[in-house]
Amino acid sequence: MSSPSIIIHGAGIAGLVLAQSLLRRGISFHLYESASRDVFDKRHDYGIDLLPLAFRKLGDLMKIERSAFVKRVAVNWECEGDGCLEALDSSHLLRVNRNKLEQLLAQDLPDSVLRFNSENGETTDTPTIGDEIVVAADGVHSSVRKRLLPHSIPAIQPFTVFRGSKRVDSNSFDQDFAPYFKSQTRLERQLGNELLRIDLTGSLRQSKYMGITYTYSRPVRDENDPLFKPDRATWDATQLGMKFKGVVEEIRSHTKLDGAFEKIFNVERIDRDGDRLLHWLMRSILVDKAELKKVAREQKVLFIGDAAHHQPILASRGANLAVEDALDLAEFLDSGKMTHRLDELTLEDYYDPRFDVWTQDRREAQSRIEQLHGGAASSGGSL
Ligand SMILES: Cc1cc2nc3c(=O)[nH]c(=O)nc-3n(C[C@H](O)[C@H](O)[C@H](O)COP(=O)(O)OP(=O)(O)OC[C@H]3O[C@@H](n4cnc5c(N)ncnc54)[C@H](O)[C@@H]3O)c2cc1C
């Protein structure tokens, strides 16, 4: 390989898929990740939905046959049986553990190209902008975006959201939860415009514990809603998370919960199991296309994944878009490599087909959020 001419910031889904795709095309790059290797190895232990197109493309990229891919990354504890693999031949979503997916994508990237923070004394916080093409794949809080497009700030959607997580041992899981999940990994219940959701995050066949995450969400009631804190600091997420217990008590005062919902949305069990509770904000952003193109033209910086477009977590298809953004970008960059003139590529052209997809995703996410909350309308921005 020749000396690196592409710098990628962020080894999340978009950055890793781009790196894998460039590696396989023989295009040199460096990928910088702000987390340490240790943090990277342990984080993101939860499920995300991959659409059939994305997991087929990932399997092709990693040259892994479908059933082997499912066994490596699927959340569903029953998915390792043949029945589930057969089901995946149709148009089903595949629920994957994000940590396992990212580990798979990082596994054969050489240390010389994937640089974690605190290694080699390098810091990845300040993007290098010089002769190289820079790809900002550094997520919704993108520091590249903050620096180059400081006016592009995510909006906070008017929803109150809490998220809890717990781990249960296999006996408790079999006894308390397994009968309700069967071959599913997600349970949902709508109570008017309130949504309760329970997700499995792991595989009992691979570990002695089952991870369970759960969320509560509803549209903001009015401008004095005490649980809507769009300006809260990041570190307040845990403190405010404790208010979830009051929400649970309120729900139980007017609704008789049953099954897994009775066991999860239960303050006594939350305390007994030491669940981690967080207050979540529903951020959304779609960076202006003209601004993206200007930065591509003038500074050779391209944005992909959540750094360019992000929809609220509850209705997100962001992982799927991140995969496609990265694969399309690798193909686009490859067209420059064929002529041996990456520098002659008109970088801003990358956005023409992608931006339409991002715009459509924003519309669809909005409608999914409304459906999930009993058709509740949202203003699409902050109150
Ligand atoms: C709980 C949860 C559930 C979700 N469920 C789904 C789902 O079901 N389906 C779906 O499609 N999507 C889902 N999403 C969204 C999806 O995970 C994201 O859209 C996707 O991960 C975006 O990928 P990305 O690579 O653009 O950003 P990220 O995955 O956020 O990666 C950004 C990377 O950049 C790194 N970074 C940050 N700053 C810097 C810097 N300055 N320098 C270097 N590196 C930096 C970060 O550490 C991170 O590794 C969910 C998200 C969450 C949190």
Q: What is the mean pLDDT of each run of 10 residues along the chain (383 residues)?
A: 74 98 94 95 91 91 88 70 48 84 95 82 51 92 97 96 94 90 86 95 74 96 92 94 97 96 97 97 97 95 98 94 98 76 79 97 95 69 39
C-alpha to C-alpha distance for 364 and 358, rounded to whole angstroms: 10
Q: Which of 195, 161, 219, 215 is nearest to 377 (CA)?
A: 219
- Give me ligand 1 centre to Cα 100, in Å: 14
Q: CB atoms < 10 A from the CB of 311, how many? A: 27
> Could you tell which of 16, 286, 313 is best to mutate to test the pocket of ligand 1, judged by most ligand atoms within 8 Å of the CB?
313
Place of tokens 């490596």: 72
- Cα–Cα distance between 108 and 106 in angstroms, integer? 6
- The span from the CA of 275 to the CA of 214, in Å, is 10
**Which residue has the CA at smallest separation from atom 41 of ligand 1?**
125
Q: Is 306 in the pocket of ligand 1 (CB under 6 A)?
A: yes
- Looking at residue 210, its pLDDT comes to 87
Query: CA nearest 217: which of 376, 381, 379, 48?
Result: 376
Compute CA 81 distance to the chain's CA centroid, rounded to the nearest angstrom: 27
Residue with tokens 């990928």: 31
Neighbours of 213 (CB within 10 A): 21
With CA atoms as reference, report the closest residue to 342 among 352, 328, 353, 332: 332
pTM of the model: 0.92
Residue 254 Cα, ligand 1 centroid: separation in angstroms?
36
> What CATH architecture applies to the domain 6-46+101-154+283-372?
3-Layer(bba) Sandwich (3.50)
CA distance 310 to 96: 19
Strand duo 209-219 + 283-286: pairing: unpaired
Ligand 1 atom at shortest distance from the alpha carbon of 124: 42
Closest CA to 79 of 89, 67, 90, 64: 67
pLDDT of the residue at 76: 65
Give the integer Cα–Cα distance in Å for 157 and 382.
5
Q: Is 31 in the pocket of ligand 1 (CB under 6 A)?
A: no
How many DSSP H helices and E strands does the chain contain?
Answer: 16, 15
Quickly tell me which residue has 């499995």 as its tokens. Answer: 200
CA distance 52 to 93: 6
Determine the pLDDT at residue 383: 39
Residue 123 pLDDT: 47
The closest residue, in CA terms, to atom 20 on ligand 1 is: 319
* CA–CA distance, 187 with 200 (Å, rounded to integer): 9
- In the chain, where the domains are located: 6-46+101-154+283-372, 158-280
DSSP code string of 252-279: HHH----HHHHHHS-HHHHHHHT-EEEE
Separation of alpha carbons 142 and 130, rounded Å: 18
